[in-house]
Every structure is written in structure tokens, then in C-alpha cells.
Amino acid sequence: MNNLAASAGTRPIDLDDTDHGIIALLRADGRMPYRAIARELGITEATVRARVRRLEESNTMRVVAVTDIEAAGYGMLLAIGVQVENRDPEAVATDLAAIAEVFSVNVVVGSHDIEILVVTEDAGSLSELLMATLGSVPGVRRLTPALAMDVLKNQPDWVPFHDA
């Protein structure tokens, strides 16, 4: 049996081969119907439904939709380092997180106070985003953008899931 620690407030649950099978199938296709999972694993649909509910309620697993940024119309992906001045980095990060084009915000230690990931449709919207939107957030001292030229790995379905 595997023991996977869940997030705070929930107890770890033991995972058996059925749980691992369900997780593997849902990682491959998060929209796979319970009936198809049941057929694939040789169990009942009710068992799949109960197991998925148990896995979700214990915070062991969560099925989420992931957007393909190119399919959504965004042609540019940027990592941007943000230096903060005269304001708490957490407050600046909160303001940055409210901007639609920003999809990841991290307060960090290093040459920047915050690192963000943003998407834009094209170079014109990039200029507008950098100068007018991000640059006008109170406390932003300097933006250091790095344009992704070739995305070699983007694994949105990756999670730290280890067999013990």
C-alpha cells in the first residue's frame, strides 16, 4: 500500500492498485467517463465514482481543465522578473495576480522580488501590457521580461505524485 500525504486538514489515505489505475487514466484523459474507466479497470461505475470522490475529498487528486495558450489565441509567453520598490512585494504580487494576462505569480528570493508568467496575443499587446498595465502597478520598479522563443517542455498535467 502507498501512503500519500494530503494537504493540511485531511488525513493521508492508502492508495491501492485501483486508485492508481483511476489516477493514471484520468491523467491521460481528464474527461474520460466513469463508465469507460470502469470498463478499462474491470470494476463497476459506482466504484469509480466513489473512489474519485474519495481521492478528491482527501486532496489526493483533483481533475482540472488546462488551457492550451496557443489554442486560446495567445502567441507570446513571457517570464518576467519584477523588482519592487517602496511597497511590500506581497501587495504588489496580489495586484499583479489580478491582471488577466498574468497566469502565475511567485514572490521569490534572488535578483527579483517577484516572478510572473504572462501571455499576450502579439507584440502590440505585449508593449501595452508591459508599459501601461504592469509598469503602472504601484511599487513596480523594474520589469525584466524574457520572451519564450521555443517552449521545450510545458507539462501542465505534471504533479509531484510518487510511489512509496
Q: Where are the domains of the chain?
A: 11-57, 76-147
C-alpha distances in Å from residue 69, one per residue of 103, 121, 124, 153: 11, 10, 17, 14
CATH class of 76-147: alpha beta
Q: 74-78, 111-115, 151-155 — which one is most confidently predicted on average?
A: 111-115
C-alpha distances in Å from residue 164, one per residue of 5, 24, 27, 149: 11, 16, 19, 38
| 32-72 tens-digit pLDDT | 999 999 999 999 999 999 999 999 998 888 887 666 666 66
Among the residue ranges 25-39, 75-89, 141-155, the one predicted with the least confidence is 141-155
Q: Residue 74: what are its φ and ψ, rounded to 5°? A: -100, 125
Residue with cell 487528486: 61
What's residue 21's pLDDT? 95
Q: What is the mean pLDDT of residues 123-150?
A: 90
Return d(Cα 74, Cα 113) in angstroms, integer. 26
Nearest to 119 by CA among 158, 160, 154: 154
State whether CATH 1.10.10.10 applies to domain 11-57. yes
Return d(Cα 159, Cα 22) in angstroms, integer. 15
Dig out the grid coordinates for 97 from the structure: 495576480
